[in-house]
Amino acid sequence: MGEGIASVPVGTRSAVMRTAALWLLFLAPFFYLTYGVANWLASLRADVPNLAFGWEKHIPFFAWTIIPYWSINAFYALSLFVNDTPQDVGRLARRYLTAQIVAVICFIAFPLQAIFVRPATDGLPGFMFDVLGGFDKPFNQAPSLHIALLVIIWDHWRHRLKGFPRGIWHVWCLLIGLSVLTTWQHHVIDIPTGALLGLFALWLFPADRASPLVAFRLTKNRKALRLAVVYAIGATIFLLIAAVSVHNNGAGLLWLWPSLALALVAIGYAGAGPKVFQKQGDGVTSLASRFLLWPYRLGARVNRWWWTHKLPAAVEIGDGVFLGRAPNRSELAAYASVVDMTAEFPTPRAADLHWRAIPSLDLLPLTVSSIRDGALAVEEAHGSGLVLVCCALGFQRSAAVVACWLVRSGHAANAAVAVEQLKALGRPVHLKPEVYAAIDEAAR
């Protein structure tokens, strides 16, 4: 399974090994201590609830799946040593630590227990179950820490393997994931909640960019703060729905997904900015962001349809430049380039299409530098074919960029004239007069 793993200089390899060993010396005792304490505290309670669906009694027990179940322990340790730099080791360790801390907090605050009694098992599986039973009691259920760590470890190796070994890795990880059910260690609802936790750890410590919270500074923009409060209220409402509905059905925990998504968006408006969406300049969005923020994006897509379904997807402004809403994949064939001002929408991939993303938050005015960068991107792209300049609706962010391009290209004397030209083409433009000054400054 080592195919595709890049070679690392000897000096760096030694530093990686030392860093990995030190982290493992801390993480292993921390894991067993905190996990054991959570188990012990749950055992002191008179009535620990259970969240299981009635049909789960039909899930078969396969003793041999304790082998893939146990294998995650080996990959947990090994993954620390398979890194290119000590910084990579630290990032993986922080992901482990995040999953561990959040899971244990949940285990202590809301303990759950498994209710299925495993049949007697002998041989190697029996021995492995006996060892497992020595420290893993029928508590610590949701979110499944096993699944959270599996998501982290799966992501760690999928970037390092190629070809057939990578396919084998995906299959083995699938077996590990299923084994939490076929060993009767967890109930079904523990799996999606564990996956959310693992994805959150990936989001918090991304591989190819700084953490979204590294440079967090509470914004002074009043509109941004108001929007942050609105999204925080939405997150709280979904959290309360989860807390209330879970008493009737374990599926109520799934309401934690939109709650978490809106909480991350609230953090973005409060000061973290568009980095919470983890969208790069080429439009590629991280795996963690795509999954964690999917409920928010679903709402954004519904909102896009509501405001634009009676309008053309885009209108031509001139010289092969179009202004429109965020496109669907089927609408991209007409264009050679896209200048995308959204942070919230991932790129719909299309062949032979140049995508330039300048991520920005919806409903907030663009900075002068973002407007200028967008206009320059239009200038660079429009000579190579048709260009679409888009944001969620095509009413604000992309309209400001196109207005700036009109001024820079000599099609309009200033921002006010450019906006009137856009409106005359039948495209709604929702730019306040104070944005005009930013457009004119960006056009200089």
Task: Tell me how far the alpha carbon of residue 357 is from its chain's centroid.
Answer: 18
One-letter amino acid at 8 equals V
Catalytic-role residue among 173, 390, 391, 404: 391
Indicate if 106 belongs to the active site. Answer: no
Reference 154, options 220, 99, 223; nearest CA is 99
Reference 376, options 341, 408, 417; nearest CA is 408
Q: What share of the chain is helix, strand, coil (3-state, %, to 5)?
A: 60, 5, 35
- The angle formed by the CA atoms of residues 343, 346 and 349, to the nearest 5 degrees, is 140
Distance CA 245, CA 341 (A): 38
Residue position matching structure tokens 């918090």 = 204
Which residues, in sequence order, are CB contacts of 403 under 8 Å at separation 6+? 412, 415, 418, 419, 422, 429, 431, 439
Which residues, in sequence order, are CB contacts of 43 under 8 Å at separation 6+? 137, 139
Pairing mode of beta strands 321-325, 387-391 = parallel
Residue position matching structure tokens 């299309």 = 350
Q: Is residue 119 within a helix (H) or strand (E), and if so which, with residue range?
A: none
Residue 391 phi/psi, 5° resolution? -140, -165
3-state secondary structure at position 385: coil
One-letter amino acid at 421 equals Q
- The residues with which 342 forms a beta bridge, in sequence order, are 360
- The angle formed by the CA atoms of residues 233, 226 and 415, to the nearest 5 degrees, is 140
Reference 328, options 315, 314, 317, 310; nearest CA is 314
151, HSE (Cβ side, Cα atoms, 13 Å): 25
Q: Among all residues, which ones are annotated catalytic?
A: 391
